[in-house]
A and B are shown apart, each in its own frame.
Chain A
Amino acid sequence: MEPSKTLLLVGGTSDIGRATALHYAQAGWQVQLAARNDEEARRNADDIRARTGAEVTVHRLDILESGAFESFANSLSTLPDTVVCVVGELGDQAKGQTDMAHASLVLRTNFEGPALLLGYFAERFLARGSGTLVGVSSVAGDRGRGSNYLYGAAKAGFTAFLSGLRNRLAPKGLRVVTVKPGFVRTQMTAGMKLPPILTAEPSEVGRAIFTAAERSGRDVIYVRPIWRPVMMAVGSIPERFFKRLRL
């Protein structure tokens, strides 16, 4: 048990967010759940409190309103020890190809918002001298594919941002963790046919995040290790062949 450590979980209504917060609460952490839909987040907060007895608070936050980040952070009763950002929006690739507003929403929700938020907390953590930042990126960011390159490009940007931030903060003793969950059985993927061996349950992702951030000290994790060789293989296909594949 680590007494009175605090997690800020951004994306508190998502399945991965819920599972991650629950895992931290079970380990004795206090939890701050942030979400745009704070009413729905309250449902998760009540659940985590009932299951674990942990202290769980709910905070309204829109990842696209970076102007409000400072007042949001100041409204928290304590500056968290760890921030985990699981915000993501798969969007509709086909729609985004012609609808720029939708494309912009996907790009901003998956890249700009999470990057700015973790960037903001990086400065606060630097000032304090401690803290861990966790960004949930995606295997989709490892290589752009025709079927989801808006989402993939934003995640690629986020992965690069986390990598750079880690490079800058590591000498100061601050940690940055990149999480690539692969397929996860969530609301976002409901109804999709997913290969079972490549598909994690939200609880697996929660456990993997906690382990990487608080125990093992790893920098970049694929939740299911099988994704590492899979993405290496995908990455090694020469572009002149890759461009002809329907992916």
Chain B
Amino acid sequence: MTELAGWGRYPRHPSETLCPTSPKAFPSLMASRTGLVARGNGRAYGDAAIGEQVTLMARGLDRIRAFDQATGRIQVEAGVLLSDLLDIVVPRGLFPPVVPGTKFVTIGGMIASDVHGKNHHRDGGFGDHVESLTLALPDGSIVTCSRDENPELLSATIGGMGLTGTILDATFHLRRIETGWMRQTTTVAQNLDSAIRALEETSNATYSVAWVDCLARGASLGRSLIFAAEHATQRDLDALRPGSSPYPASKLGRLSIPLDLPSFTLNRLSVSAFNELYFRAGVVKSGYPFLVHWNPYFFPLDGIGNWNRIYGRRGFLQYQCVIPTAKAQAVLGGILERIAKHGNASFLAVLKQLGPSHGLLSFPFEGFTLTLDLPVSDEVFPLLEELDRLVVEARGRLYLAKDARQSPATFEAGYPELFRFRDLRRSIGATGRISSRLSARLGI
């Protein structure tokens, strides 16, 4: 038995772990064991990748199966890390169609969570780009899922949190880029209303996201920096950084948090000082485009190893909700007000416009999503329950890949396709056999 936790380090549960090294090992494991779920790199924040009894560590499935540089079509095993994929494809002028906020995720995890990136408003989630995938079902059979073959199983598996079977490999297309640089433009929004408007106005940008100072209150509630970006062309590079290499090596940060920081490290004072500095730095840069390496643009926190340890031993919760566009300003404003009042340090508050998605349990829909990090404390749970009520009232929902604590009622209210997902689970014999701590907690 091993004690497993997600990236938030809350909750922790014991589980038997198995480390198969070949896809061939999965059918018999799937058929013979029960209470199991696959785990990629453990970057889901809560309890999604902890088996009720058995956790199948899928990192051994780390082979690239086929790669056509000319067309950008690639087939990879599910345990391949996005960071690994980036190292291979970026120098060849290709980029994944969608990347989440960390590159230390597996491709299988990206599909199971139907991750979204800063381009969701334009390009959809990662799942939308999956041409086909291979799935090991609970009875040990292996099936291919694509738009033509087993399409209902595909739409359940995309965003299905590993609850339809184990994803063994996937095929998708990479997009072509001219350089490894991003042409970024920063704009300042003095409050939530103008931040939402700025995101809507930059929705023609390929990538856009807002960083919210969630300690700002009153008239500056929701003051934000909006980062919009495009993959820089060779012309951008010639104009803004003449002579630079088009594919500079990615300088991974050497900084790492070696141990759990005491929980008093993050208090209202230190976080608001940090936020103030960050905001001012952004204001200085605002207005004109500049080039930034793809690595810090997409994965700013990956430069700090084990950053999850800054929240101390008890761990932290990431709260991510999406609210329909019409109600976004009012509800997100209400959430920010309560967070600011609560004074519970949140390092990260990210605001982003989302488009529709197609997985039965995929998180995104047309609206705005807000993401907050909160250290685990006794007071934080009632606060989040209060936020849940606002989200449910607005017909919003919470992201399962981040969740560690929502109630079954909140979940059911947010995911109207749940009954179809449950039917499909029943029809393939997954109910009760493929189960994570998350699925048990929420009754999926």
Contact of A46 among B21, B24, B65, B88 (CB under 8 A): B65
User: A46 to B64, Cβ gap below 8 A?
Assistant: yes
User: B21 to A47, Cβ gap below 8 A?
Assistant: no
Q: Which residues of A contact B65 (CB under 8 A)?
A: 43, 46-47, 50
Q: Which residues of B contact A50 (CB under 8 A)?
A: 64-67, 74, 88
In the assembled complex, the Cα of A190 lies from the Cα of B21 at a distance in Å of: 10
Residue of A nearest to B84 (CB): A51
In the assembled complex, the Cα of A191 lies from the Cα of B19 at a distance in Å of: 9
Residue of A nearest to B68 (CB): A50
User: B63 to A46, Cβ gap below 8 A?
Assistant: yes
In the assembled complex, the Cα of A49 lies from the Cα of B370 at a distance in Å of: 42
| Min CB gap B87→A, angstroms | 9
In the assembled complex, the Cα of A50 lies from the Cα of B19 at a distance in Å of: 24
User: A44 to B21, Cβ gap below 8 A?
Assistant: no
Q: Count A interface residues, CB 8 Å.
A: 11
A98 within 8 A of partner (CB): no
A187 within 8 A of partner (CB): yes
A99 within 8 A of partner (CB): no
User: B22 to A40, Cβ gap below 8 A?
Assistant: yes
| Min CB gap A75→B, angstroms | 25
In the assembled complex, the Cα of A158 lies from the Cα of B69 at a distance in Å of: 43
Q: Which residues of B contact A51 (CB under 8 A)?
A: 64, 67, 88
The majority secondary structure among interface residues of chain A is helix
Interface positions, chain A 38-68, Cβ under 8 Å from B, are 40, 43-44, 46-47, 50-51, 53
| Min CB gap A189→B, angstroms | 11
Q: Which residues of A contact B74 (CB under 8 A)?
A: 50
Per-residue CB proximity of A203-234 to B under 8 Å, as 1/0?
A: 00000000000000000000000000000000
| Min CB gap A195→B, angstroms | 18
In the assembled complex, the Cα of A195 lies from the Cα of B407 at a distance in Å of: 42
Residue of B nearest to A45 (CB): B63
| Min CB gap A187→B, angstroms | 5
User: B19 to A190, Cβ gap below 8 A?
Assistant: yes
Per-residue CB proximity of B44-82 to A under 8 Å, as 1/0?
A: 000000000000000010011111010000100000000
Q: Which residues of A contact B19 (CB under 8 A)?
A: 190-191
Interface positions, chain B 220-238, Cβ under 8 Å from A, are none
Interface positions, chain B 222-259, Cβ under 8 Å from A, are none
Per-residue CB proximity of A173-194 to B under 8 Å, as 1/0?
A: 0000000000000010011000
| Min CB gap A94→B, angstroms | 23
Per-residue CB proximity of B10-24 to A under 8 Å, as 1/0?
A: 000000000101101
User: B63 to A47, Cβ gap below 8 A?
Assistant: yes
Q: Which residues of A contact B69 (CB under 8 A)?
A: 53
| Min CB gap B71→A, angstroms | 13
Q: A51, A190, A191: which has the most chain B beta carbons within 10 Å?
A: A51
Per-residue CB proximity of B183-213 to A under 8 Å, as 1/0?
A: 0000000000000000000000000000000
User: B88 to A43, Cβ gap below 8 A?
Assistant: no
In the assembled complex, the Cα of A46 lies from the Cα of B21 at a distance in Å of: 16
Interface positions, chain A 93-118, Cβ under 8 Å from B, are none
| Min CB gap B27→A, angstroms | 15
Q: Which residues of A contact B21 (CB under 8 A)?
A: 187
Interface positions, chain A 18-54, Cβ under 8 Å from B, are 40, 43-44, 46-47, 50-51, 53
Residue of B nearest to A191 (CB): B19
In the assembled complex, the Cα of A90 lies from the Cα of B60 at a distance in Å of: 20
Q: B19, B60, B64: which has the most chain A beta carbons within 10 Å?
A: B64
User: A43 to B64, Cβ gap below 8 A?
Assistant: no
User: A46 to B66, Cβ gap below 8 A?
Assistant: yes
In the assembled complex, the Cα of A190 lies from the Cα of B25 at a distance in Å of: 16
Query: What would be 22 A-B contacts, judged by CB atoms less than 8 Å apart?
Result: A40-B22, A40-B24, A43-B22, A43-B63, A43-B65, A46-B64, A46-B65, A47-B63, A47-B64, A50-B64, A50-B66, A50-B67, A50-B74, A50-B88, A51-B64, A51-B67, A51-B88, A53-B69, A187-B21, A187-B60, A190-B19, A191-B19
Can you list the 10 inter-chain pairs with the closest CB atoms, starting with the nearest?
A: A50-B64, A50-B67, A47-B63, A47-B64, A187-B21, A43-B63, A46-B65, A51-B88, A190-B19, A51-B64
The chain A residues found within 8 Å of chain B, CB to CB, are: 40, 43-44, 46-47, 50-51, 53, 187, 190-191
Q: Given A43-B63, A51-B67, output 5 extra A-B contacts at Cβ < 8 Å.
A: A43-B22, A46-B63, A46-B66, A51-B88, A53-B69
